[in-house]
Amino acid sequence: MRRMVCVAVVVGMMGAGVRCFAQQSVPAAAAKAAPAAAESEQRLELEVARMELELEDWAQLERYREADLALPASEAGRVVFYGDSITDGWVKNGGKFFPGKPYVNRGISGQTTPQMLVRFRQDVVALHPEAVVILAGTNDIAGNTGPSTLGMIEDNLRSMTEIAKANGIRVVLASVLPVKTYPWRPAVADPAGKIEELNAWMKGYCAQEKLTYLDYWTAMAGPDGGMKPGISLDGVHPNGAGYAIMEPLAEAALAAK
């Protein structure tokens, strides 16, 4: 069905007039669907662009490249704290991060153990630390870079450990912090149980390989396997009170021989 639509138009510099056009009628549902389809297409384009950018530097080697080069070649007592957002956000989320100590933070938010393995030589070995504190695995369990079994996480932790030991770097493996539910991945089944299982493996592996096991979990877990009340921002990331628990435990682990 057609209808006539009349609009006022300006013709050059000569003045205004009225013109009428025949217009095809558009069903109301189709008219509403068009903006929604355009919005959906725009979201898809943005997501594809984000993924392309991420794949260009999947392990985020650029994040610390310049900072690594700016450090002195070596420094007595240097320790690299290596991890994901829990390490990355240490100060931003309320921790003090060992003032006065030659400790280096090389955490990247969201990272999983395969990403950390890729950048391990650049962000740990090349800094010639005396020790590395590795805190990783929770994002693997959350599925941040796809499905991951506990065996896959363990293999990546083994590989990082072996690279460190081959380069004379002492390894401190930190337990994964307690989690009941991942806010960004609520469908992940039983993270608390998986974390306990991974930590048990880690503790045994440290005993076997004569590494130091840093047990954050025992001091931070509630009866349900999640974070104790008052020490976390969202049930995954510590707040100032949470880091106040972690900092002396880390110092004690580094002091142990």
pLDDT tens for each residue of 218-255: 999 999 999 999 999 999 999 999 999 999 999 999 99
Higher pLDDT, 55 or 188: 188
Residue 252: Cβ within 10 Å count: 12
Same structural domain, 110 and 46: no
Nearest in space to 136 (alpha carbons), one of 121, 115, 151, 118: 115
Residue-level pLDDT at 37: 74
Query: Do 32 and 108 reside in the same domain of the chain?
Result: no
* Mean pLDDT score, 105-110: 98
Range of the domain at 191: 62-255
Examine the domain organization and report whether 70 and 19 are in the same domain: no
Cα 249 from Cα 247, distance rounded (Å): 5
Given this model, what pLDDT does residue 257 score?
Answer: 73
- Per-residue pLDDT at 45 exceeds 80: no
Residue 42 confidence (pLDDT): 73
Confidence band for 35, pLDDT divided at 50, 70 and 90: confident
Report the mean per-residue pLDDT for the chain: 88
pLDDT tops 70 at residue 8: no
DSSP state, 101?
S
SS (H, E, C) 6-66: EEEEECCCCCEEEEEEEEECCCHHHHHHHHHHHHHHHHHHHHHHHHHHHHHCCCCCHHHHH
**112, 118 Cβ separation under 8 angstroms:** no
State the pLDDT at residue 33: 67
Question: pLDDT by residue (tens digit) across 59-96?
Answer: 999 999 999 999 999 999 999 999 999 999 999 999 99
What backbone torsions phi and psi does residue 132 show, to the nearest 5 degrees? Answer: -130, 135
Measuring CA to CA, which residue among 145, 160, 257 is closest to residue 205?
160
Q: What pLDDT was estimated at residue 57?
A: 78
Torsion region of 8: left, alpha or beta (phi above 0 gives left; psi -120 to 50 gives alpha): beta
Q: Could you tell me if 52 and 68 lie in one domain? A: no
CA–CA gap between residue 133 and residue 87 (Å, rounded)? 10
Number of neighbouring beta carbons within 10 Å of residue 215: 17
Burial of residue 155 (CB within 10 Å: 0-12, 13-18, 19+) is middle
**Residues 109, 141: one domain?**
yes
Is pLDDT at 53 greater than 80 in this prediction?
Answer: no
Percent of the chain with pLDDT over 70: 82
The strands making up 212-214's β-sheet, listed across from edge to edge, are: 103-107, 79-83, 131-135, 170-174, 212-214
How many domains is the chain built from? 2
Q: Structure pTM?
A: 0.80
Confidence bin at 7 (pLDDT 50/70/90): very low
Scored b (16 or more CB within 10 A) or e, 74-88 reads eeeebbbbbbbbbbb
Domain final residue pick, 20, 35, 56: 56
pLDDT the model gives residue 31: 60
Would you state the pLDDT for residue 11? 40
Identify the band that residue 5 occupies on the pLDDT scale cut at 50, 70 and 90: very low
What pLDDT score does 44 carry? 66
Q: What is the dihedral of CA 84, 86, 87, 88, to 10 degrees?
A: 70
pLDDT at 49: 55
> Does 133 share its domain with 90?
yes
Helices and strands (H and E) in the chain: how many = 10, 7
The CA distances from residue 180 to 61, 115, 223, in Å, are 31, 24, 10
Parallel, antiparallel or unpaired: strands 131-135 and 79-83: parallel
* pLDDT value at residue 28: 62
Do both 125 and 238 map to the same domain? yes
More confident residue, 21 or 254: 254
Distance between CA atoms of 7 and 45, rounded to whole angstroms? 36
> What's the whole-number mean pLDDT along residues 42-63?
72
Q: Let me know whether 211 and 167 are in one domain.
A: yes
